[in-house]
Each structure stands twice: as C-alpha cells, then as structure tokens.
Structure 1
Amino acid sequence: MRSSIPLLLALVTVAVAQENSTPDAPIALPSATPDAPVVLPSSTRAAPVLPTCGQVQVHFEEEVRRASRLSAPVQTGKFLVGGTQADYGAWPWTVSICVQDWFGTCVYQAAGAIIDNNWVVTTHSAISLDVVPTTLRVRAGTINHGANGQFVKVREVHRPTDGSDIALIRLDAPVIFGPFTQPICLPTYDDDVVQAGVPAWFTSWGYTSPTFATVETYLQQGELWISSNSVCDDFTTHTKNETQLCAGGFVGKGGLATCKYDMGGPLMEKRGDTWYLFGLSSTNNYVGSNCKSATVFTRVKAFCDWFHKTTGISCID
C-alpha cells in the first residue's frame, strides 16, 4: 500500500492541472498576425537590375574584336588627343541621329547621348524644325553611324519653351543596355569642369577637315579645353554663363575644334570611375574659321529641372 501512495498523488496533481486549464483557448504564437504577408529576408528579394550610369564596361581586347569584326584599335582606357577613331564600347552612350527617307536611306544629322533606355539628349539646332520626329532614327551601341548596333525609331522630340539649344528625344522602343550601350550621368554641378583650362572629352561623327570633307563613318574622339566664354563671343552673340560654356579651338597650338555635323555631340568628363555629360555641341564658326575656333556648348547642368519634369530622370552628384 505504501508504494502506491506516490502514484496516487501524481494522478491527483495531473487532474487538478487539467481542471484549471482552458481547453478551448487558442494557441498564441509570439507576436504573430494571421493575415500578415510573409516577409522574406532582404537577401532573397529580387531587385530590378538597372545599369549604373556613366560606366564603361568594355575592357577586354577579345570582346571588342568579336563585336567590331575589324582590326580597329581596341579599348585600352587611354585616349589620344587630336581627333582619333574611338574604340567599340569606349563611349557606350554616344549615338548617331539620322533622318530616314521614303526609300529607307537614313541620312546622318547629328550626335546625341543616351540618358535612359527611352531617352536621348541632343541640341535643338541639330534637328531641323521641319523634320517630322517620326522620321528620325537613333543608332546606338556601335561606332559606325550607318551600320550595326541598335536602330530605333523616334516617337517624339521635346524642346524647352525658352528656345534654349537642347532637345530630348523619346524613343519608340527602349534600347537594350549591355557592354556597348549605356546611359551617361547628368550632373547637378559643374563648377569643377567649366573653369578655363580644364580638359573634357568630346565625341561625334562630324567633319575632320573643313574642305572636301564628308561625315566620318566611324566615331571620332578628342580632348577639348574649356575656355572663357568671352572666347566664343568673337563669333557669336553674348555667351550666357548660366546655360552655355565655351570649349575647343587653338588648332595648331595643340588644341582641337569641332566642325560641321558635330552638333549634338557630348562633352564629357570623368569623376572617379563615372562619366558625366557636361555639354552638347551647339554653335561653331565653321565657315569663318575653318574649324579652328572654339565651340559654344549647351550647359547640361542648367536643365536638370527640365530633364526631371519631362522624363523623370534626375541629375546626380
């Protein structure tokens, strides 16, 4: 009998515990909300893949040779001053703009720069007012303005109401970003670049000589020196410091100048590893100076608000 006493006490204890419990109470999970969505760890979220602007992605000789199928110079990351042929992928945001006729022939008009997969920026003067926007075409991802790359129709052209020499081209279909097609960054400030004596890079397909010349087949590159705006006042009306800058000239003294059909070409400089668009070729003294004088460029920074209002694209530091 004594050995069964502990067992009886244990059974009584269990019965009392069951009696004091609430059988129908729901099981409460720690701070859980039944209808709350399941949140995955941040490392497993799928973020959209967007390119960083102003990045040159081509660095390997074999990749360039496969793309060009030519024995052209390859990308080395170093450029020569004086107007040389650009390498494939060296300036992946520079595009050519042409007008297509009824027969399918597209006549080169100007250069421009990609700022988004749907938008290209150029100068207003580069596109004739009587040109129907839908006859314009943009060729991206190649240094040959008449072949290869991505050939895209234009949907519309936007110009500021104040008559400034700048234009935004909206593409009918987005370009596809890759090693040879990238956007360039738009700067919020340019005080470090627009000072006289600072070098900046320029690209376009314009004439390399003022006489007996034609549009270049392959993209040309060169380094221009920023000048005081008063230098450009010698052949044009007063250059506006807020919306224009002066660069190039001094040919024969180590300088380089723009020429006919260089309109809309981008003027660029690198900050760290990122390229920024600071100017667009606007006005030069093609006839009077035989492509030796400085060029008026539209100052990109001055139009940041207009860029954002028209395209939703923001300038960045």
Structure 2
Amino acid sequence: MNMRILMAGASGFLGTRLADRFTADGHQVTRLVRRPARTPDERQWNPSAAQLDPTVVAGAEAVVNLAGAGVGDKRWDDDYKRLIRSSRVDTTTTLAVAIAGLPAADRPTVLLNSSAVGWYGNTGDRVVEEDAPAGEGFLADVCRVWEAATRPAEDAGVRVVRLRTGLPLHRDGGLLKPQLLPFKLGIAGRLGSGRQWLPWISMVDWLDAAAFLLARENVAGAVNLVGPNPVTNAEFTRELARQLHRPAIIPIPALALKVALGGFAHEALTSTRVLPGVLNRAGFPWRHPDLAGALHAALTE
C-alpha cells in the first residue's frame, strides 16, 4: 500500500537513501527542512523551538524521524555533546507532541523513530537483544531520553517503532568511509585491542528493514537494526583488508584514539554485541547475513 510519509532527517547519510527507497516503492515523501521550503515536497519546521504546523502532520499516514547530528562527524566537546542530544530529543519531542495533539482520525498510523544500539552501552562479550535494559555512558543516556521522547505519540495510540540502528556499511559514509583511505595506503589496523564487538548491518538490509517495519503493523517498540552475525573489530579489520587486498597490520592504540577523537574514543572502543531479535522473529529476509557479503556490497554497489 502506498503511503504519504512525512520525513525528518531526509538529507542525511541514511535519510537520503531511505527517502529515495520510499519514493521508488511508490510512497509520497514530504521532507521536513529547517530552512524555507524550496520545492513542493518540502515543509519548514523549527524543532529547536518546537514549531511544526499540525496540518503538515495531519496530512501524513506515516512519520519517519532520522534527524540528529552525526556522532562521528566531529571531535566531541561539551558543546557538540549537547548538540548530539538536543538534535535528537528536540526533533522527536516536536513530532511526538504534534502527533498526539491531533484528533484521532487525523493521526498518522505509525512513527518510525531513529535510535541507536548505543542504548546498550558496553556489553563486552554478552549478547543482548531488544529486551535488555539501557546501559551506561553518554550515548546510552542520550538513547534513553531520545526514546522516551516518543512517548506522547505512543500514549495517543500510534504504533511507534524505535530503530536501534547499528553501523550501516556503505563506502560513502558511516563506519566505512573514513577507513578506506588508510586501508588503501596500508596504514590501517584494528582499533585498540580489536576485541570489541561491532554491530554492523549492510545498507540494503537497513533500507529493507525500515520498509519492512513501515508495513508490518504487528511490530512496535524497540527493534535492533543490526546484522544477525556480529563480529569483533579485529575480524572486521581482517575482512575489510582482504576485500581491499591491502595489509592491516598497524593497530591504532586506544591512547591515540582518545587524543584524536576526545569523548567519542570511548564509544569507538565500546563492545556492543547485539542481535536483531525482533527482525529475526518477524521473519525478516536478510540479503547479507554475513559480513563478507555486506562488505562486498558496500564496496561495489
């Protein structure tokens, strides 16, 4: 069924691709933008001031929110940490409150709201699924308030799906892009000990999962968007090096990461061994269940 979708964060790394995917699937996508609207498919809003025309929301059958400042885009200082938090909580709150404020007949049927596997904090070698409690650390705290901000829509009877995204793989962004040049120059290696678990997912599976969850009316709550076979950073490094036909023999010490990345270094060294329990139980059809296939697709498609 084709739907009218209102989308925040449609210009980002994931949002651009998801908006294109929804359009290709026959949906009508309206993009929320902070600047004045320039095209018929754009509507202006100001989430930092909680400003959103309720008629814009009333015209949608689904709302998708992927807005948020990139966690790996800049060195973390106190100002950037505040931006990471506010850019997620303000947008989610504005949308959820707007949805809840509409008459029941005018409300969208579903809100797909971005979250992250940062919810779990450092799990070490312990395997976790969606029923695990929030962990400790900055990103876990952000995810806790981020997900709580969806509550007004949920309390109003709207199906809310919290997309706990891992590390989507694509050569143009995310985890993979900044690693390609060092690997090609032969000056790359594992991060720290390399024993930390990486919750990767192929880009096509991430897009498929979002489309799957949009349509699957019996799925709500937290959903881990990660591949079914997590690997350690050392395993990831070896496989990437193999596919690029380059060595990966120079480990990056934890201390060097802390100097280069500031607060984000702690998250880069965090072990998150997460499984997609909800997607697996719902029968989601994985296209790239293993890292080798996911990396090949990320590098060539």
**TM-score with structure 2 length normalisation?**
0.29
Q: Which has the higher strand share?
A: 1
Q: Which has the higher helix share?
A: 2
Over alpha carbons, which structure has the higher Rg? 1
